[in-house]
Every structure is written in C-alpha cells, then in structure tokens.
Amino acid sequence: MSGSASEATPPAAPANLRELFFAFNRLSLQGFGGVLPVAQRELVERKRWLDKQQFVEMLAVSQVLPGPNVVNLALMFGDRCFGVRGAMTALAGMMLAPLVIVLLLTVLYGQYSHHPLVSGALRGMGAVAAGLVISTALKLLPTLRRNPMGRWLALGFSALTFVTTALLRWPLVWVVIGLGSLAMALAWHRLARAEPPQ
Amino acid sequence: MTGAELFGLFGHFLLLSLLAVGGAITTAPDMHRYLVTEQHWLNDAQFTSSIAIAQAAPGPNVLFVAVLGWNAAGPLGAFATTAGILLPSTVLSLWATRWGSQRRETRFVRSFTNGLTPLTLGLLLATGWVLAEPYVRVPQYRWGALGLIAITVLVMVRTKASPMWLVALGALAGVLGLV
C-alpha cells in the first residue's frame, strides 16, 4: 500500500460509523458460502469506497496476516476510515447478525438432527463445503509458479503440509514452526540471491 | 465441561488464531485433532455438520468456529472459541497493517509471504480432506459425496457462479437421498 495508491483519495468514504456498520452488516448477510466476492462488489462497485487496486492490495495484506481473511479486511478498512473505533465497528457489523443466525440454526439443527431429511441436507452441504475449500486451493495453486523458491520446491512444501496435518495429524503449531521457518528461510535465501543487497 | 477445560478451549483457539495464515478454515484439521481425536468433545459427524451449518448461513466462514464451540460446550463454548480465534489476530492485524504496509517490498516481508503461501495451500487441501473424509469413509455415502465434491470443484474453477447455489444444490441432493 506504499506509494501513490494509498494517498489517492478514495472515490467516496462512509460518512460516519453508523453507515460503516450497516454497510458491513449488509454485505455480510449476503455472503452465503463466503463473503469475499460480496465485499468486492459492495465496497468497490456499489459504494465506491475503494477502487479495484486498493481492494486487491488490502486483500493481499489480509491474506498474509493470521486470522480470518475477510475479518482482517473489515478491520483494515474500518481502521483506515475511523481508526480503531472504525475497525471495531466494521468487525461488529460483519459478525453480529450472522453470529446470531448461525447459532439459531445450530440450536434448530440440534432438535431436528435425527430427522432424515435434515441430516441428509446437512450431509449434502457438508460435501459441498469440502468441495468449496478444495476448489479455493486449486484456484490458488498456480500462484506458486511465481514463488521465489521455485514451483517444485513450493509444491513440495504444500504436499508436506498436507501429509503432516491431514494424514499424520501432527499439531499445526509444530508444522508451522518447523516447515514454515524452513520455507521462509529458503525464500529469504533465494530473494537475497536474486536481489542486489538492500 | 469444567472451567479449566473451558479455559483450555479458549487457549487453544487463541493459539490457532495466530497460526491461521490463509484464513480460519486452514486450522480446521487442527481443530479436528483437538476437539475430536484428543478431547472427544465432538464426534466426526458433529464436527463436519458444524462446518456445514456455518456454510448454510450467511456471513464470514469463521463463524463455523462459534458453532464448534457451541456444540462442544454450549453458549460459553461458543464465546470461548469465537473470542479466542478473533482476539490475537485482530490485535496483530491492526498493528501489522500499519507497520507492514510501509515495508511491503522489503525482503523480510516478502520471504514471510512467499514462505507461508505453500503451507497455506497445503492446509486448504488438508481441510478439504478432513471435511470430506467422514462421508467418503462410509460406503453408503461415498459416491454421492465424491460426486458432489467433483461438481463443486468443477463449477467453482470453471464458472463465476455463486457458492450459494452449490450449497443449495448440496442440500437438495441430501434431501433427495442422493448423498
């Protein structure tokens, strides 16, 4: 977000915290199976609070940071508009109503879970949920081609992560500390070779 | 669940928050290991249906964490897991965006990003595996579930259709007894 992109005034901005809250409330409630596509449509195309470039840059940062991506995006956008108060407002707008809805569904499901139609529907949605996650991974795999480690080494790290977490069920913390630092060290080494010293 | 166990639940999700590079869903395999395999607070079917309920509702995917907490320990459990997964990453996110946005091109930030991307993708695939496994293991559901997964992947990769329609298709296929 360095350079001119962040200094250029966005085409418009939320007038106050209330407008920010309801904007995130609205986009979140439209997000079945993921909020990100709706966020792009609302913030960039409808409200024009961000241009495409700003949205993509924010998304990139929100994906690098730990935590739920779209929540990070809301925090960053709110912070940019109204500081910490804005960040909390955007977060609340995005989380509160859907949280109530999902917990109501959970309670309802608990009462009807033995009904074959309900458990059948949940089974079907569960399989689709698995497919959605897998397809996200498949869509992002080509980005490894541009990884400074090189495509094959990067794919190797992906495969090792899959085997250790999905098949061997190692605790994630050790996988991230072990494989993660090795991968970061390799990336650092390759970048150092490719770049003139800073 | 005892107070100490509840605190343990909260602590585990605090830790997962900081490990969730690439989204909360990438920590699902570890949540499964902790909640199902280690602590036995949920069984396989409850774990997967928790995520399916969150998919069926609007809002950020991270809400599946609240459902897991609710199913493991009621309202307090939902509070423990949701607050746990949000707190550290929120604080870090607010601090790091201000710090990192000025240093996006430095070698440190770039090796951090590029080093963790392959892990993120491996974790996404692991999550898909953990979600699909309970169905695929049961012969009765195996082929229906694999079929739905294949259709979902094809539609998502080839078209710009909203995931909402696929979730609805999955529900319909389940009601008709195809899965």
Q: What is the ipTM of this complex?
A: 0.83
Question: What value does the mean pLDDT take over residues B17-24?
Answer: 84
| Candidates B107, B151, B157, B159, partner chain A, best to mutate (most A CBs within 10 A) | B107
Same domain, A142 and A68: no
* Sign of the four-CA dihedral A87, A89, A92, A93: negative
Same domain, A102 and A152: no
With an 8 Å Cβ cutoff, are A172 and B89 in contact? no
Closest CA to B80 of B39, B44, B116: B39
Question: What value does the mean pLDDT take over residues A109-137?
Answer: 88
Answer with the residue of higher pLDDT: B103 or B106. Answer: B106
With contact defined as beta carbons under 8 Å apart, do B148 and A124 qualify?
A: yes
B113 CB neighbours in chain A (<8 A) are: 64
In whole angstroms, give the CA distance from residue A171 to residue B34. Answer: 9
* Phi, psi of A182, deg, nearest 5: -60, -45
What tokens were used for A156?
Answer: 């190797």
Question: How far does B35 lie from chain A, in Å, by closest CA?
Answer: 12
With contact defined as beta carbons under 8 Å apart, do A106 and B56 qualify?
A: no
Q: Which residues contact A146 (CB under 8 A, 6 or more apart)?
A: none
With contact defined as beta carbons under 8 Å apart, do B10 and B83 qualify?
A: yes
B48 CB neighbours in chain A (<8 A) are: 126
Answer with the residue of higher pLDDT: B70 or A32. Answer: B70
Same domain, A153 and A102: no
With contact defined as beta carbons under 8 Å apart, do B66 and B50 qualify?
A: no
Domain count, chain A: 2
pLDDT at B100: 66
Length of chain B: 179
B58 CB neighbours in chain A (<8 A) are: 28-32, 98, 101
Q: Is the pLDDT of residue B96 over 50?
A: yes
Same domain, A94 and A9: yes
Query: Is residue A11 domain-resident?
Result: yes
Same domain, A97 and A169: no
